[in-house]
Amino acid sequence: MVPLSWYLIVAAILFCVGVFGVLARRNAVAILMGIELMLNAVNINLVAFWRYLEPDKMAGQAFAAFVFIVAAAETAVGLALIISVYRNRETVDVENVDLLKW
Amino acid sequence: MTTLQVMFFFFSLITVAGGLYTVIARNLFHAALGLIVSLAGVAALYALLEASFLAAAQVAIYIGAIAILIIFAVMLTRGVTGKNPVKDWWTYTVTAIVCLLLLVVLLTTLFRFDWPQTTQAAVPADSIARLGKSLVDPSLYVLPFEVASVLLMAALIGSAYIARDKK
């Protein structure tokens, strides 16, 4: 049998990989990919807790479904913003996009 | 080492390796493919946890919609030089050390508690039907469900407007 702590360890490792992706990348789309990794790590945690602690209530799965929905909405808006920034500045390097309009 | 444990190791290895490739690959398209591998590994972990609806939803929503959106954005925001700029090696080292410290903090907090070693109860046979009913039950989760639908609709309309062709 797989202990619950193993799932939590995998989720923690995936979360830290996502944090590294957000902090160490210059391209804005690559930063969004790191954010997706973090959201998936959180979802693994939620579903593992649901399975091991309260499998007859649906709160854990419903919570994870809501995280899916919010992640999809956030990715769509973030990518639209990145495309719009690219149209105006010709770059998505976050080191260069550091000033508002002047 | 039971079969379940072997499968768990295999799928978590795929998930973490895909994630590592996503954050390390210089070529952005390769990073998007690594993300797809990682998301597939997460879907397999959901199937191991007997959350079958979430496993199917993960494949359909994350891989089938979000990852495709990311690939489109990678193609639409291609730099003119064709090379992806990177930070210097010192920044990478410090960031890696900070993330390892975060991992150490998370793991030490995790190990303080006594988590269950095996699954205590079985998942009810009609868990998917129960999930569906809980999402439309007035005393359960219908309000967050409807609000999330409105949120998604507003976000998609807004993003289509922001990213439209201005000519």
> Which of A61, A34, A65, A37 minimizes the C-alpha distance to A50?
A61
Task: Look at residue A44 in the predicted model and tell me its pLDDT.
Answer: 95
pLDDT at B82 exceeding the cut of 70: no
pLDDT at A84 exceeding the cut of 70: yes
Residue B116 identity: P
User: pLDDT per residue over B55-72, tens digit each?
Assistant: 999 999 999 999 999 999
Residue A30's domain is classified under what CATH number? 1.10.287.3510
Which residue in chain A has the smallest CA separation from B28? A30
Which residue in chain B has the smallest CA separation from A36? B35
Q: Is residue A99 part of a domain?
A: no
Confidence band, pLDDT 50/70/90 cuts, at residue A58: confident
Quote the domain boundaries for residue A57.
Answer: 4-89
Q: Is residue A97 part of a domain?
A: no
Six-digit token string for A87: 């149209």
Judge: B95–A24 Cβ closer than 8 Å, yes or no.
yes
Nearest by CB to residue B131, choosing from A33, A58, A76, is A58
Residue A8, min C-alpha distance to chain B (Å): 8
Residue A27: helix, strand or coil by DSSP?
Answer: strand
Q: Is residue A98 part of a domain?
A: no
Between positions 19 and 58 of B, the ones with CB within 8 A of A are 19-20, 22-23, 28, 31-32, 35, 38-39, 42, 45-46, 48-51, 53-54, 57-58
Mean pLDDT of A55-78: 92
User: pLDDT per residue over A5-21, tens digit each?
Assistant: 999 999 999 999 999 99
Task: Look at residue B60 in the predicted model and tell me its pLDDT.
Answer: 95
Q: How many CB atoms lie within 10 A of CB B12?
A: 24
Q: Is B152 on the interface with A (CB under 8 A)?
A: yes
Q: Is residue A73 part of a domain?
A: yes
Judge: B148–A66 Cβ closer than 8 Å, yes or no.
yes
Q: What is the ipTM of this complex?
A: 0.92
| Number of domains chain A is built from | 1
Measured distance CA(A82)–CA(A80) in Å, rounded: 5
pLDDT at A37 exceeding the cut of 90: yes
User: pLDDT per residue over B94-153, tens digit each?
Assistant: 999 999 999 999 999 999 988 888 877 788 888 889 899 988 988 889 999 999 999 999
Task: Look at residue B117 in the predicted model and tell me its pLDDT.
Answer: 82
| Cα dihedral across residues B96, B98, B104, B107: positive or negative | negative
Q: Is residue A59 part of a domain?
A: yes
Task: Look at residue B80 in the predicted model and tell me its pLDDT.
Answer: 63
Task: Look at residue B83 in the predicted model and tell me its pLDDT.
Answer: 64
Q: Is residue A13 part of a domain?
A: yes
Residue B130, min C-alpha distance to chain A (Å): 7
Which residue in chain B has the smallest CA separation from A45? B46
Residue A70, min C-alpha distance to chain B (Å): 7
Determine contact, residues B66/B43, Cβ cutoff 8 Å.
no
